[in-house]
Structure 1
């Protein structure tokens, strides 16, 4: 007689653990609680297993962080090889901003790993490759990557610290500051808020694009 016929229910089979599943769960945990919230105990609870069972798939918490960073690099679009270097690098920077805003804990970890994974290596090699194909020497390509990534990561850190996340919140915050400004004592701040922050259709992403264009326009191939 089948288990169904005897009235017994079969328990749903739990998906087996794997390194990929552990890393995916760790990313979800970090998205909720930050990188510091990714502990072996918390991760085990998230997966519904004993903490010791994680060590069958990862060596340590540091190994998990390696995997998390590599997974984030894997979500950033690789620069296209079918277009000019400036467009390719610009699109890659935009993708990095989108991904890192969704995984803010990763910003400070992106280039911190001493054991970079395959996605990380592929990403960096592709960026260097586009610049090399565009006429940059290896030295200038490395410098270009450093300048661009410093800007992207720094902008995101500043963006994430702002006291607003959307147009409505920006209007509320900027309007509140404007109302609290002492009358006629800070004319430049008042003008900035009125003509920039509270301007109809203003998007903070404009600031990212301005800075990115400034950097890309200053970079020039130095070969051939």
Structure 2
């Protein structure tokens, strides 16, 4: 341990430690003070590598994206277009399932890492090679949303409906209440993002796009 503490402090080591803390204790535990304690340095020394909490979270998001892109690259790029995209999206999802705080962090950032843009560009390339027009590829990206990164955006969330007594509005939204009641289950990412739902939606989109082609 003492030897590890003498390792040179650099941005990569700080961010790797931040990811470890987030995996173990949640993203809220990732603070400059906590990082300093984990690395055995004064928190102020971290500002040389990251200028504050926003820069820290931006760096954590970039580190997460790098892991996603590495997983996507290992998934390969040869074969029928649906199989290629499906393998990539599911590879990204495996990363998100290892870092369940990931979707929240990515949704909170105001800038898009260049790696994300290059990844989405490669998705368009796969579709173009399969005979899709840019018009359909554009609409496909809208339909996919965050699925290429391994998770889906939520329409509702626990925080959004904490103040709503569903039983009190059951007469106004009977089908919504019935659906929520019948579909209650353990989610993998977010409030209603299970593996079954992710793959169902992905296959539905890929099949629909194939017909649109």
Under TM normalisation by the shorter chain, which class is it?
0.5 to 0.7
> 2 CA distance for matches of 1:43 and 1:153?
27
Deviation at 1:217, TM superposition (A): 0.4
Distance 1:146 1:17, change over 3 A: farther
Unmatched 5+ residue regions in structure 2? Answer: 159-180, 185-193
Structure 2 distance, partners of 1:19, 1:221, is 47
Are residues 1:210 and 2:210 paired? no
User: Is 1:99 aligned to residue 95 of structure 2?
Assistant: yes
Q: Which residue of 40, 59, 66 corresponds with 2:51?
A: 59
User: Using the alignment, how far apart are the partners of 1:62 and 1:137 within structure 2?
Assistant: 39
Give me the whole-angstrom Cα distance separating, in 1, the residues matched to 2:115 and 2:30: 21
Q: Secondary structure at the match of 1:22?
A: helix
Count of residue pairs the alignment pairs up: 174
Match of 1:153 in 2: 151
- Tell me the residue number matched to 1:40: 32
On the 8 A contact 1:134/1:221 being kept in 2, the answer is no
- 2: CA distance between counterparts of 1:23 and 1:48? 15
The aligned counterpart of 2:176 is none
Deviation at 1:139, TM superposition (A): 4.1
Shift in Å, 1:44: 1.1
Q: Which has the larger radius of gyration?
A: 1
Asked if the contact 1:70/1:116 (under 8 Å) is kept, the reply is no
Q: SS in structure 1 opposite 2:8?
A: coil
> Scaled by the length of structure 2, what TM-score is found?
0.67
The alpha-carbon deviation at position 99 of structure 1 amounts to 0.7
Cα distance, 1:126 vs structure 2: 2.0
Shift of 1:28: 0.9
How far off its partner does 1:205 sit? 4.0
> Partners in 2 of 1:56 and 1:33 — Cα distance?
25
8 Å Cα contact 1:137-1:222 kept in structure 2: no
Contact persistence 1:69–1:109 (CA under 8 A)? yes
Partner of 1:196: none
**Which structure 1 residue ranges, 5 or more long, are not aligned?**
1-10, 162-188, 194-203
Output the TM-score relative to the length of structure 1.
0.64
Cα deviation digits, residues 64-91 of structure 1 (max 9, x gap): 2122112222222146332222111101
- Higher mean alpha-carbon deviation, 209-218 vs 103-112, is at 103-112
